[in-house]
Amino acid sequence: MTSKLSRNLRLVFSYAFLIALVVIVFYPIAWAFMGSLNPGDSLSKTKLFTTDLSFKHYIYLFKETNYLKWYWNTLKIALGTMVLSTIFVVSAGYAFSRYRFKGRKYGLMTMLVLQMFPSFMGMIAIFLLLDRVGLLDTHIGLILVYSGGGIPFGAWLVKGYFDGIPKSLEEAARIDGAGHITVFFKVMVPLARPILVFVAVNNFIGPWMDFIFARLVLTSPEKKTLAIGLFDMITGKSNTQFTNFAAGAVLVAIPITILFILFQKHIVEGLKAGANKG
């Protein structure tokens, strides 16, 4: 009886903790969403449960601001970074996992050390470098910065995954006459799909949500991203702009939510496999 009571108490406390955690996580999201539908101009008057809703803040974003332009700029940068960075990461991870070459050990150690320093420490160097090569205030320059910055962490993660794939699979393919490129694309890439999806989604989310580097690199109004545009919209303004900001923030979350829903299974598998095989 005592053991059963103890199990029931643990179960009750577990559910209570999980419910409290859900409330803590979802309350700000629900409050921001209801704030975007608040017919007034102040977030302080937002109510979670009300039937007095309005879409005027969303209409304001599309008609009175360059929100669609900011959205397109951010989507372009995020997609470009996702594609380019994934190519770099997978290539580097496969090379470090399967090939033995001079400088391999020092290359791995360098990537490991680079992960210990926050990215903003190189902001001045990045600014000067982009200015020298003529890529300052360009989306291409920002994509290159994001893509290069994601290589150390991503390459280590992908290398750990490739290390867990038996080499006998590649050897069997080579016996059948497959070359290095065929083995990579026909054997290794399909087997590494979970970790590739995780890397791709991670490299999409970073640029989509970033403000610091985008603010550093981009200066032209027509090249603003969502983070810069929304920030400038409320900077130095009265409280009346924060309901519009809430509407913009809700729309920002849509692509990331869709990605997680579509690739949730692959993302979880990639995380588990990367942790176990690293």
Task: Dump the DSSP string for 6-64.
Answer: HHHHHHHHHHHHHHHHHHHHHHHHHHHHHHHT-SSS-GGG--SS-S----HHHHHHHHH
In a domain, 231, yes or no: yes
Using only C-alpha atoms, what is the Rg of the chain?
24
Distance CA(132)–CA(126), nearest Å, equals 10
DSSP 226-258: HHHHHHHHHTT--GGGHHHHHHHHHHHHHHHHH
Q: Give yes or no for a contact between 197 and 266, defined as CB atoms under 8 angstroms apart.
A: yes
- Using DSSP, state whether 95 is helix, strand or coil: helix
pLDDT average, residue stretch 184-204: 87
Residue 107 in this model has a pLDDT that exceeds 90: no
CA atoms lying within 13 Å on the CB side of residue 153: 16
Distance CA(245)–CA(229), nearest Å, equals 10
Domain, as residue range, for 251: 66-277
Which of 210, 247, 274 is closest to 62 using CA atoms?
Answer: 247
pLDDT average, residue stretch 214-241: 83
Q: At what angle do helices 151-163 and 193-209 cross, to 10 degrees?
A: 170
In a domain, 19, yes or no: no
Which are the contacts of 139, defined by CB distance < 8 A and separation ≥ 6? 73, 76, 77, 80, 218, 223
pLDDT average, residue stretch 11-21: 91
**Confidence (pLDDT) at 278:** 44
The label of the residue with tokens 């969502």 reads 226
In a domain, 76, yes or no: yes
In a domain, 218, yes or no: yes
Indicate which CATH number applies to the domain containing 208: 1.10.3720.10
In a domain, 41, yes or no: no
Q: What are phi and psi of 260, to 5 degrees?
A: -65, -35
Residue 165 in this model has a pLDDT that exceeds 90: no
How confident is residue 86, by pLDDT bands cut at 50, 70 and 90? Answer: very high
Distance CA(148)–CA(170), nearest Å, equals 29
In a domain, 120, yes or no: yes
In a domain, 13, yes or no: no
- Mean pLDDT, the chain, rounded, equals 84
**Confidence (pLDDT) at 277:** 47
In a domain, 5, yes or no: no
Distance CA(216)–CA(239), nearest Å, equals 26
Total number of domains in the chain: 1
**What pTM was computed for the model?**
0.83
Residue 70 in this model has a pLDDT that exceeds 90: yes
